[in-house]
Amino acid sequence: MARILVTESIADRGLDQLRAAGHEVDVQEGLSPVKLLEAIKGAHALIIRSATKVTAEVLEAGSALIVVGRAGIGLDNVDVPAATRQGVMVVNAPQSNIISAAEQAMALLLASARNVPQASAALKNGKWERSKWEGVELHGKTIGIVGLGRVGALVAQRCLAFGMRLIAFDPFVSADRARAMGVEILPLDEVVRQSDFLSIHLPKTKETTGLIGADLLRTAKPDLRIINTARGGIVDEDALYQAIKDGRIAGAGLDVFNEEPCTDSALFTLPSVIVTPHLGASTREAQDKAGDTIAEMVQLALAGEFVPFAVNVGAAEASETVRPFLPLAERLGRLVHGLCHGVPAKLDIAYQGEIADYDVRILTLSVERGLLGAAETESVTFVNAPQLAEKRGMTVTDTKTAHSPDYRNMITIRTSCGHAIAGTLAGLRMEPRIVMVDDHDVEVPPSKHLLVVRNDDRPGMIGALGTTLAAHNVNISNMALGRSRAGRAALMVVATDGPVPAAALEALRAVPGISAVDAVDDGG
**394 φ, ψ to 5°?**
-85, 130
In the annotation, is 488 catalytic? no
Residue 488 has pLDDT above 70, yes or no: no
Report pLDDT for 162.
98
SS (H, E, C) 213-260: CHHHHCCCCCCCEEEECCCCCCECHHHHHHHHHCCCCCEEEECCCCCC
- Catalytic residue (choose from 201, 278, 337, 449): 278
Report pLDDT for 486.
60
Inter-residue long-range contacts of 507-510, CB under 8 Å, 24+ positions, other chains counted: 507/468, 507/471, 507/472, 508/451, 508/453, 508/465, 508/468, 508/469
- 411-429 average pLDDT score: 92
User: Residue 163: left (phi > 0), alpha (psi -120 to 50), or beta?
Assistant: left
- 164-183 average pLDDT score: 94
Q: At what angle do helices 116-124 and 98-114 cross, to 10 degrees?
A: 60
**310 φ, ψ to 5°?**
-75, 125
- 315-321 average pLDDT score: 66
Q: At what angle do helices 326-340 and 361-375 cross, to 10 degrees?
A: 40
Report pLDDT for 484.
66
Give the HSE-up count for residue 103: Cα atoms under 13 Å, Cβ half-sphere: 10
Digit-coded pLDDT (tens) for 104-127: 999 999 999 999 999 999 999 999
Report pLDDT for 523.
55
**Distance between CA atoms of residues 13 and 217, nearest Å:** 44
List C-alpha distances in Å: 79 to 58, 157, 231, 383, 389.
Answer: 9, 34, 16, 14, 23
Report pLDDT for 102.
97
Residue 476 has pLDDT above 90, yes or no: yes
**189 φ, ψ to 5°?**
-65, -35
**Distance between CA atoms of residues 297 and 317, nearest Å:** 14
Digit-coded pLDDT (tens) for 435-470: 999 888 888 888 888 899 988 888 899 999 999 999
Smallest CA-to-CA distance from 298 within 524, 505, 454, 91 is with 91
Higher pLDDT, 308 or 138: 138
Query: Domain 315-437 carries which CATH code?
Result: 3.30.1330.90
**Distance between CA atoms of residues 370 and 237, nearest Å:** 49
- Catalytic residue (choose from 260, 317, 376, 443): 260
In the annotation, is 472 catalytic? no
Domain chopping of the chain, boundaries: 3-95+285-302, 98-275, 315-437, 439-524
Smallest CA-to-CA distance from 441 within 406, 400, 389, 403 is with 406
- Domain 3-95+285-302 fold is Rossmann fold (3.40.50)
Query: Domain 98-275 carries which CATH code?
Result: 3.40.50.720
**Distance between CA atoms of residues 419 and 157, nearest Å:** 55
Report pLDDT for 197.
98
**Distance between CA atoms of residues 362 and 484, nearest Å:** 31
Report pLDDT for 457.
83
- Domain 439-524 fold is Alpha-Beta Plaits (3.30.70)
**Distance between CA atoms of residues 298 and 313, nearest Å:** 14
Smallest CA-to-CA distance from 29 within 44, 13, 19, 15 is with 15
Would you call the peptide bond into 261 cis, given omega within 30 degrees of 0 as the criterion? yes
Higher pLDDT, 305 or 35: 35
Could you tell me the pLDDT band of residue 375, with boundaries at 50, 70 and 90? confident
Report pLDDT for 520.
83
In the annotation, is 285 catalytic? no
List C-alpha distances in Å: 389 to 298, 336, 346, 381, 418.
Answer: 25, 14, 10, 12, 19
- 170-177 average pLDDT score: 92
Smallest CA-to-CA distance from 368 within 87, 44, 60, 59 is with 87
- 362-370 average pLDDT score: 92
Highest mean pLDDT among 65-69, 93-97, 375-379: 65-69
- Catalytic residue (choose from 70, 231, 414, 433): 231
Identical fold between 3-95+285-302 and 98-275: yes
Report pLDDT for 519.
87
Query: What is the DSSP code (8-state) at residue 262?
Result: -
Per-residue burial over 435-452, b = 16 or more CB atoms within 10 Å of its CB, e = otherwise: bbbbbbbbbbebbbbbbb
Smallest CA-to-CA distance from 73 within 281, 283, 317, 297 is with 281
